[in-house]
Amino acid sequence: MAYALQQLINGISLGMIYGLIAVGYTMVYGIIGMINFAHGDIFMVGAFIALISVVMLVSGGIMDGPAAILIVLLASMAVTALYGWTVERVAYRPLRGSFRLAPLISAIGMSIVLQNYVQVAQGARVKPIEPLLPGGVTVLHVDSFVVQFSYMQMLIIAVTLAVLAVFTWLVTRTPLGRAMRACEQDRKMASLLGIDTDRTISLTFVIGAALAAVAGTMYLLRYGVIDFYIGFLAGVKAFTAAVLGGIGSLPGAVLGGLLIGLIETFWSAYFSVQYKDVAAFSILAIVLIFMPTGLLGRAEVEKV
Amino acid sequence: MSATTAAEARPNAMAGAVKDAAITALVALGLFIPIVGLRTDVSPSGTLMLRQRWGDVAILVGIAFAGRLAMLAWRAFRGEAKPASAARTEAIRKAGKSVAPVLLALAVVLPFIPGTGRYELDLGILVLTYVMLGWGLNIVVGLAGLLDLGYVAFYAVGAYSYALLATTFGLSFWVCLPLAGILAAFWGILLGFPVLRLRGDYLAIVTLAFGEIIRVVLINWASLTGGPNGITGIPRPSFFGLTFSAGGGPGSFADFFGIEPSPTHRVVFLYYLILALALLTNWISIRLRRQPLGRAWEALREDEIACRALGINVTTTKLTAFALGAMFAGFAGSFFATRQGFISPESFTFIESAIILAIVVLGGMGSQIGIALAALVMIGGFEVFRDLDEWRMLVFGGAMVLIMVVRPRGLVGHRTPSVALREKRSIGAEHVAEGHG
């Protein structure tokens, strides 16, 4: 029981990270209908910017503790958003209105570029950092087993919820969110009604990248080691989460992320660590076979 | 009148271009300051420290500025891009007709061209392997319009089938080759069944997941596959029972034909083997395109609903595409295993699937010659940049983006319809659907 509770805490905090990345996938997919393959690597870039800021602030002895985390988070979000914007501008915008596979290949190319760019610029070795927020609260004490709820996990959950609240407000209450939803429904009609669709799409990428940066920062602070290759697996898992939740659906992305995080954690805890990826992917396949549009996705209406 | 306005417009355009380039440089500055300018290194004490590299940042920002300026100048100089006219498409098609025989002739005589050494032959084998994989995937993606991101899984199944059958039961390459193909096709059907209902990107992600599952299983099922260490000592193929041992001796290829034993013989043999396999793939897919099955694939790509309405069995049509594509990957996989003599899960990562898919799309989905050219450009180009070391993948990815941006429809952007009333005329690729599956 205590063991399961611990896994639940671990699973939710991991799932939050996946959920944040998945939102970026699902937003882009909703608006321009493409799989942004480079999004996982945007997450990796975000983690690296956070790493560099941490080293600069903490190892430089300028700042420490929660204030440092806030600055690191903001720095990572700002620069990663710029990366997201640039990727869209360079690799996707020229292909707008082109056929479906062209942006996909371009995105795969961009993913290779980002990965190897970071490898060349920052080196291939793994980068460890000291924990910024050690310690935690003991939730439960059963026999010799202690259920720990670390401050870092609390931070991840709190930050994710806050970011998602802001994001929900942005999408549902602001003119930008309205424009985004309009583009999602019918891009041509939206542009006829005076919405700057190019700008809206750019901003979608910027927001998606900023969310990925939050995920990257949280990942770095939670696990303490990153390398240039973390983006691939995290990206695939997050995309899996987005599809599982029903691609195009924002609550679905978060739900899918949580599910993937929980499945992975519980599978590693009770069965085998080696096959945790197999478990996540198999669940995806099974869900899609019985619910081809994901958990919260709308069924696509086919018009002839 | 118009001359003066043009003259007046020029300085404005110049100023605009410089401003545009300056903004680009500013963005580049923002991008490169953290990642390039501040490098994290592990210091001797085990913690991270920063090394500053502002010179590199300055160079990159300069490149961004100059590059943007050159691009704007090129655009102004070239003017509006003209859509390809029918006459031009026709001319390219005529030229393309002679390209294929020339390429084929070159491929056939390559081992006998003076100056062709071991390195060139190895490169030829590598390119041909990807040509074959591209043609195989083309059946699934280009003809049937099903987006498969896990093609490498079947390649892996083929390679491991051959390796395991050969090392465990001592079966020869020629027995294992069809077996590996059949096993891979079987896996294709096995994967095909559950995903038949899925369309578009759902299909893409499930095939990707399947590719990853196969790889994870290969890594972790160590008792069967050797885990991350892979399988070593995979037997080499023989030429109708004649071996290619370096020292010659009775029963060897050199001994039988009474020639000087040379390690080149095996490489030349492998080269012709993959050439034959690739041509077989090509021949079968060209023939199938003209048969009811191939027509059903293409009809499925163009419009699935119409297909159903006309009574085409969508299930079997999709499954055969999956199975045949997988079979050719299985052949290529067993060739890969016998050529390397060693396989490990390292060789079957997602990036391989991505490269094969990129070859198909860059080749201009569905065009056989285009795929061959794309494989030559991508894999050959990748080898040419060998000296770049860690920069090589960076250049490779950049080239992928660049080719797509410049030629979204691939290198060969036209089609000759498989079926036509009276006269066959090539059409622009814009008119070919890409399927939703």
Mean pLDDT, rounded, of chain B: 83
Backbone angles phi, psi at B36, to 5 degrees: -90, -40
pLDDT per residue over A33-88, tens digit each?
888 889 999 999 999 999 999 888 877 677 767 788 889 999 999 999 999 999 99
Per-residue pLDDT at B72 exceeds 60: yes
Predicted TM-score (pTM) of the model is 0.87
pLDDT per residue over A122-149, tens digit each?
888 888 888 777 777 887 777 777 888 8
3-state secondary structure of A137: strand
| pLDDT band, residue B2 (cuts 50/70/90) | very low
Between positions 36 and 55 of B, the ones with CB within 8 A of A are 36, 38-42, 46-50
Q: Counting one residue from A and one from B, how many pairs have CB atoms under 8 Å apart?
A: 190
Looking at the complex, report in whole angstroms how far the Cα of residue A189 sits from the nearest Cα belonging to chain B.
23
Between positions 196 and 215 of B, the ones with CB within 8 A of A are 197-199, 201-202, 204-206, 208-210, 212-213
Distance CA A179, CA A171 (A): 9
Identify residue A236 by its one-letter amino acid code. V
DSSP per position, A24-82: HHHHHHHHH----TTHHHHHHHHHHHHHHHHIIIIITTS--HHHHHHHHHHHHHHHHHH
Q: Closest partner residue to A281 among B213, B358, B434, by Cβ?
A: B213
3-state secondary structure of B312: coil
The pLDDT value given to residue B256: 72
Closest residue in B to A275 (Cα) is B216
| pLDDT band, residue B400 (cuts 50/70/90) | confident
List the one residue out of A294, A292, A266 whose CA is nearest residue A279: A266
Q: Closest partner residue to A243 among B47, B194, B205, by Cβ?
A: B205
Identify residue B8 by its one-letter amino acid code. E
Give ipTM to 2 decimals.
0.87
Bridge partners (DSSP) of residue B123 are: none
3-state secondary structure of A146: strand
**Which of B20, B48, B59 to mutate to probe the A interface, most A CBs <10 Å?**
B48
Helix, strand, coil % over all residues of chain B, rounded to 5:
70, 5, 25
Candidate from A63-72, A216-225, B267-276 with smallest mean pLDDT? A63-72
Closest residue in A to B207 (Cα) is A285
Sequence-distant (6+) residues with CB within 8 A of A92 are A32, A34, A36, A103, A106, A107, A205
Candidate from A110-119, A168-177, B193-202 with smallest mean pLDDT? B193-202
Per-residue pLDDT at B327 exceeds 60: yes
List the one residue out of A208, A217, A170 whose CA is nearest residue A75: A217
Contact call for A127 and B213, based on CB within 8 A: no
